[in-house]
Structure 1
């Protein structure tokens, strides 16, 4: 069984989709502002980390 390789463009799209989903979690409406800020900080860290990984992969293709 052969699997199609992911492209950098697909990874970038997956990251953007993931970031959108994290920012629009319905649970965010049910928490206090401190918890919402924590959600936001975690989403930003997630985005930065995966952006670095994608950049590394782009540079080392």
Structure 2
């Protein structure tokens, strides 16, 4: 019998992974933003990417 994965259901599954190397200054900017907004780093990167897309319109 196969076991289903446990976890929170979502309408937007995160199936793709992005890896980036950053310098200390960039990391500190992301870290400070995430702490200020009480979010994880992955969510901070997602928000930044969305802002990049909004900016180009």
TM-score w.r.t. length of structure 2:
0.35
* Higher relative contact order structure (alpha carbons within 8 Å, sequence separation ≥ 6): 1
**Length-normalised TM-score, structure 1:** 0.33
